[in-house]
Amino acid sequence: MPLTFTLMSALRKTNFVFLATLLVIPSQWACGSPRAAQAQSQQAAQQEAPPRKTSRPYTGDLSIFEAADRDDKLQVQRVMDILGVVPGAHVADIGAGSGWFAVRAAKRVGADGVVYAADINPEAVAYINRRVEQEKINNLRTVLASADDPKLPADSLDCVLLLKTYHEVAHPVLLLENLRKSLRVNARVGVIDRNGNGEIMV
């Protein structure tokens, strides 16, 4: 089964955006039946053993993600345009690290929007919580996720970004299957990564 089809089987009525190549897969390309999608995604998840090659989740100095030129290098404003990060939107940053993207998204969505910063590293969650308090960001919520489940509220998200996180995910289909329940109709999921082969990236 092709990777894009496998990923789409985990995302019902969702646009999947692989931002490394600016590939947008419309929601109508997804499997037609929710039951079929669920069965196919479960089958795909079972076929994923042994796990694909990944790098270990980053646990070092989180300030490394705050380089002054990162906004330009990653074209963050363009990324938010593509994903639909607009005033009032509900956004998730999975693998949020220092909160670099989450903070920028929180400014974009404004007081009527919400941004969830999810990470499996408790130190990252604590780091972002300190930022929220110091920078007085009222619309940013942190979530301590697990490796295969971002643990986000059901039916709550308009757009999601995995920013240089995908290469750390051993079971991406399972992660996306767990994410699916949090997505609203026509939500967009974006991935910025290189080739997902386990190389360490900043």
Q: Which CATH class is domain 3-192?
A: alpha beta
Provide the strand spans (E) within 38-125. Answer: 90-94, 114-119
DSSP 160: E
CA distances (Å), 15 to each of 52, 81, 183, in order?
24, 14, 10
- Rounded CA Rg of the chain: 16
Locate the domains of the chain by residue range. Answer: 3-192
Please check whether residue 103 is in contact with residue 140, taking contact to mean a CB–CB distance below 8 angstroms.
yes
Q: Strand 23-25 and strand 14-18: pairing?
A: antiparallel
Interatomic CA distance for residues 68 and 28, integer angstroms: 39
Angle at 147 between CA 164 and CA 150, to 5 degrees: 80
pLDDT tens for each residue of the chain, 202 residues long: 334 434 444 454 455 555 543 333 333 333 334 444 555 555 555 554 565 777 777 677 787 888 888 888 888 999 999 999 999 999 999 999 999 999 999 999 999 999 999 999 999 999 999 999 999 999 999 999 999 999 999 999 999 999 988 888 888 889 999 999 999 999 999 988 865 454 544 4
Tell me the C-alpha distance between 158 and 85, whole Å: 8
